Amino acid sequence: MKIAMVSEHASPLAVLGGVDAGGQNVHVAELSGALADRGHQVTVYTRRDDADQPVRVLLRPGVEVVHVDAGPARHVPKDDLFPFMDTFASVLAAEWFVDRPDVVHGHFWMSGHAALEAVKQVHARTGGVRIPVVQTFHALGVVKRRHQGTADTSPAEREWIEPAVGRSVDQVVATCSDEAFELKALGVPLHAISVVPCGVDTELFRPDGPVEERGRPHRVLTASRLVRRKGVGTTIAALAKLLDEGREAELVVVGGAGTAGADLADDPEYQRLDALARSLGVREHVTFRGQLGQHDMPAVYRSADVVVCAPWYEPFGIVPLEAMACGRPVVASSVGGLIDTVVEDATGLHVPPRDEDAVAAAVGAILDDPERRDAYGRAGRERAEARYTWHKVAAESERVYERLVAGAANGLATPVAATGTDTAPGSNEPVTITPATTTPGTRPGRAGRTARPTPAVLPHQTERTAR
């Protein structure tokens, strides 16, 4: 198949750890590569954010990255990119008039909007079978607003365009069960939702290999973009409690502005975290490393006794998978995708979000029990190999694509509505969507929630972790 990946702000070529460069970049790069390994031809369309970038870059055999001219050729925060999406869509349509893909996969809500608009333009000009569109949101605005409130910088249009994208594409691929339930609440039909997780490179991220030297007897690691919702401040506060209890430990923070911390001093979130660490008297125990390349990370993971992922919310979270693949236990907030990936008291421990006492207690329990720590690490590696390799993720994605392409060829797909800015909030009439295989039944909700129907699942998902 010819597969078009649309990822407007998250280039697979980006260095990770900046404000807008994280798990989505990894997901697009690794999924594209794994699909190419299965014989597909993948083209990734991403916005040009540097005037020196060539139009086309071969990422690896079978995967080409195309830089789209839409807006200024410099970094623009992703929340400011929406005004350029019509231009982005027009470039996509021009490309697809000449070289038509078999299926389009949008990543993030703006990419989905651009993909649908481009497919609409192609269909209006050429007629015939409409190109199927698959969508992965990676994060939902409704969840972001719930947790960030007035601090949410998303454009106003996201509130109604994002749900419209979900209802208009042929299939939404959620990355965890929690996201699938959020999509259902937005009006996406269950038969149009499949759950395919993110993956991890288990050859790169593995327990054996070089180990970075640590500076204290115990090392705690957190790796994320430096934005407040990632909960690094909670982990710093937890470190203070661990030190007060007499443990000799250090915290290494990976992520932030600039490669290897070159521009950290100008990063507002770094400044806030630095001030927090100083106010708690733990600054000499905290090391901020800035952005590190993917190939530098395994040695850092291996150097840690425990990896902490304490976000307020998390659509999926690749860091826990990388830590588990390296054989390291994880302390994770009991939110979003982390509920699926980290198995309570098997590969790590769950804690409530924004609870520094709970993080300190969980980390302390793991630091104080080497046998438990090793057992969690072994179980994490086994889980990563069994369920989260990119080969498995690509195979499951491929099945979604093949079903839609076959349905379109048999005339089962219906042209979708546009998701333009004239769609009013609350205008949520669903459109006809290509049928997908469903699994009947219900699934217990978390405490205090009503049980909700189970979305369409793929073979690896027949077993669910306790919530």
pLDDT at 259: 60
- Mean pLDDT, range 127-141, rounded to an integer: 93
| Band of pLDDT at residue 324, cut at 50, 70 and 90 | very high
Check if the beta carbon of residue 319 is closer than 8 Å to that of residue 341.
no
pLDDT at 396: 97
Question: What is the C-alpha to C-alpha distance for residues 353 and 402, in angstroms, rounded to an integer?
Answer: 39
pLDDT at 26: 87
pLDDT at 84: 98
Q: DSSP alpha helices (H): ranges in 169-261?
A: 177-185, 232-244
Nearest to 380 by CA among 321, 315, 307, 445: 321
- Mean pLDDT, range 321-350, rounded to an integer: 96
What mean pLDDT value characterizes the chain?
A: 87
134-138, 189-193, 303-307, 404-408: lowest mean pLDDT where? Answer: 404-408
Check if the beta carbon of residue 160 is closer than 8 Å to that of residue 186.
no
Question: What is the C-alpha to C-alpha distance for residues 362 and 356, in angstroms, rounded to an integer?
Answer: 10
Reported pTM:
0.81
Question: What is the C-alpha to C-alpha distance for residues 188 and 337, in angstroms, rounded to an integer?
Answer: 19
pLDDT at 22: 67
Question: What is the C-alpha to C-alpha distance for residues 72 and 204, in angstroms, rounded to an integer?
Answer: 35
Exposure class string for 414-435: b at 16+ Cβ within 10 A, else e: eebbbbbbebeeeeeeeeebbb
- How far from 32 is each of 17, 143, 235, 281, CA to CA, in Å? 20, 27, 33, 45
Question: Sign of the CA dihedral 25, 29, 30, 31?
Answer: positive
H and E: helices and strands count for the chain: 14, 17
- How far from 41 is each of 48, 158, 209, CA to CA, in Å? 21, 31, 33
Check if the beta carbon of residue 392 is closer than 8 Å to that of residue 29.
no
**CA 285 from centroid of its chain's CA atoms:** 30
pLDDT at 315: 81
Check if the beta carbon of residue 202 is closer than 8 Å to that of residue 325.
yes
- The H or E element spanning position 456 is strand 456-457
18-22, 62-66, 208-212, 428-432: lowest mean pLDDT where? Answer: 428-432
Exposure class string for 66-90: b at 16+ Cβ within 10 A, else e: bbbebbeeeebebeebbebbeebbb
Nearest to 138 by CA among 94, 48, 78: 78
- Mean pLDDT, range 46-75, rounded to an integer: 96
DSSP three-state, residue 156: coil
249-253, 277-281, 404-408, 425-429: lowest mean pLDDT where? Answer: 425-429
Question: What is the C-alpha to C-alpha distance for residues 353 and 311, in angstroms, rounded to an integer?
Answer: 6
pLDDT one-digit tens code per residue, 103-132:
999 999 999 999 999 999 999 999 888 999
